[in-house]
Amino acid sequence: MQKDWWKTSVAYQIYIRSFYDSDGDGMGDLRGIIEKLGYLKTLGINAIWITPFYPSPLDDNGYDISDFMAVDPSLGTLDEAKELIEKAHSLGIKVLLDYVMNQTSDEHPWFIESKSSVDNPKRSYYLWAPGRVNPAGERVEPNNWGAFFGGPAWNYSPETDQYYMKIFSDKMPDINWDYEPLRKEMAQVARFWLDLGVDGFRMDAIAHLGRDLSFKNSKLAGPWELAYDWSKFSNRDVLYDYLHELHKDVFQHYNVLTIGEVGGGAKLPDALKYVNKERPAIDMVFNFDTVWCNGLENRTILKPEKIKVNVAELRKRLVYWLKGSIEAGIAFPMYWTNHDHPRALSQYGDINFHQVSGRLLAMVLLSLPGMIFIYNGEEIGMTNVDYQSLEDFKDASSRNFIRDHKHKYTSEQIMTHLRYAGRDNGHLPFQWSNTKYGGFSTSEPYLKMNDNYQWINAEDQMNDQQSIWSMYREMIQLRLESDYSSILTQGNFDVLDHQHPDVFVFVRRYENHEIITLANFRDHYVQYPIMSGKVLQSNYETYDHKGLQPYEGRLIWREYDEKNS
């Protein structure tokens, strides 16, 4: 297997608990993935990334792990994990797993030992500090740092009268990468799964392994106010030492692909530190910069409104990352959204133009450079939740948002916000058919389904040549198995129009050929001069050369020379 196999890969992310339930308990499982490998092969993907299936109390959807080297009994067995890897490989599908690096569950044996005594050998596996006394004489957290899920970045442990650091949930204590014995333990976790045959890792929350261990207050807020200052535990220089050590001790001994989740705080210079050929660490970085180009980013509370894609900002961010990565000679993963985000159709498409806007998203994504990742359900245009009760929202960050805002806003206001931005959107059970429970399970799913499974589902779309699913399949074939594959997998990338507020136009060039992608992100006709050439793909059966219909996309091939530039 070649190290650069990713260049001709289209990967598919599987959120295991919501993918397919094989045993009727209302939750997806490993056997469910095994049973749907044929579906994935038909779609055309050749790699899968599976979210955590390790033992977990499920405070945060399996990212709170109580045993890194086992399978949660509710999701299957270790033998089924091995079977999945083997059967995927037999179909030419590579397997990437989530390597959760920032935290464990508070029910992990390491933490149970660590909290038991300040002298316990595993005490330093986690980050501990004494509390402070505020001006009112109250015992409070060691500093003013805030957590990603809201509230302080510390939680009190009565066993030793100290606080442990947790930048996500109270039940997810952060591990201490500054402590060498802990790093050795985590290296062994990686070896365990690589020895079972996995082809790579998506490295969860990798940006947060380095901390400001002085634990000094952030200056972004007063000493007794919460400061949401991610710089205290994001993309700090020391983490590159940890990753280089991990590469040297583990990764360089395997043919493994490593992709780190670095979030929205990292920029290209940070990426070049992660992907450093002189001091190897990992192969690629996931960031969130292109996920929120629709006016909804960083709002305290969202109100009912029609989402409008900010084409200028999307174009700007794509140019920054894609051209910057290509010029630097580093790999880049390209995706619309994942399990932490709203659904792509709801972010960048339009439910009122469901089919054409979903097909447009397929055309744009699969004609961009990089290693392509499709999130499960994206290929059928699954949408954000239609929940009518706050009780339906189960995600830890959603529950924390409700807790922190219920005294300020009405239930309807909070629900509106979560329908737009909550992580439950990405966790919805897959809509396989229009039968009860959407064909996901024979019993009520662990998370409420959207009612629209009756008309948005895989079974119907696989039998419709004009469906979103069919467009994803056609575009994957065009990218991987056609005479144009070299252009789409190896070609350079340039934007042809840097100014247009509604239309995104870019070109991929390889040798003396080019493919131009035109994408109208508006719900109305937009006049735009269409260049000459062979139309390879369109999401409309009829089209003209004077403009683009609502959410129309078009791929045009032509020979390239200086006259066309």
Do 464 and 526 reside in the same domain of the chain?
A: no
* Owning domain of residue 344: 5-101+181-207+244-468
d(C-alpha 517, C-alpha 330), whole Å: 23
Contacts of 417 (CB under 8 A, 6+ apart): 301, 302, 401, 409
Question: Quick check: is 39 in a domain?
Answer: yes
Do 443 and 521 reside in the same domain of the chain?
A: no
d(C-alpha 65, C-alpha 172), whole Å: 8
Which of 423, 453, 468 terminates a domain? The answer is 468
Q: How would DSSP label each residue in 275-306?
A: S-SSS---SEEE--TTT-TTTTTT-SS--S--
Contacts of 407 (CB under 8 A, 6+ apart): none
Please give the structure tokens belonging to residue 418: 């979560």
Do 254 and 349 reside in the same domain of the chain?
A: yes
Do 323 and 202 reside in the same domain of the chain?
A: yes
Q: Tell me which residues are annotated as active site.
A: 204, 261
Q: Which pLDDT belongs to residue 237?
A: 94
Q: Based on the structure, what is the number of domains in the chain?
A: 2
Do 323 and 377 reside in the same domain of the chain?
A: yes
- Pair 515, 364: CB distance under 8 Å: no
Do 503 and 451 reside in the same domain of the chain?
A: no
Q: What is the CATH number of the domain that holds 548?
A: 2.60.40.1180
Q: What is the pLDDT of residues 478-525, one digit of tens each?
A: 999 999 999 999 999 999 999 999 999 999 999 999 999 999 999 999
0.75 cut: is pTM over it? yes
Q: What is the CATH number of the domain that holds 424?
A: 3.20.20.80
The closest of 199, 184, 202, 176 to 245, measured between CA atoms, is 184
Do 497 and 458 reside in the same domain of the chain?
A: no
Q: Which pLDDT belongs to residue 1?
A: 42
Do 282 and 342 reside in the same domain of the chain?
A: yes
The closest of 484, 490, 506 to 553, measured between CA atoms, is 506
Do 338 and 257 reside in the same domain of the chain?
A: yes
Do 373 and 462 reside in the same domain of the chain?
A: yes
Taking phi over 0 as left and psi of -120 to 50 as alpha, with beta for the rest, 98 belongs to beta
Question: Quick check: is 411 in a domain?
Answer: yes
H helix and E strand count, the chain: 17, 20
Under DSSP, is residue 202 helix (H, G, I), strand (E, B) or coil? strand
Do 400 and 536 reside in the same domain of the chain?
A: no
Question: Which amino acid is located at 536 in the chain?
Answer: L
Do 376 and 498 reside in the same domain of the chain?
A: no
Q: Which residues of the chain have pLDDT under 70?
A: 1-3, 264, 562-565
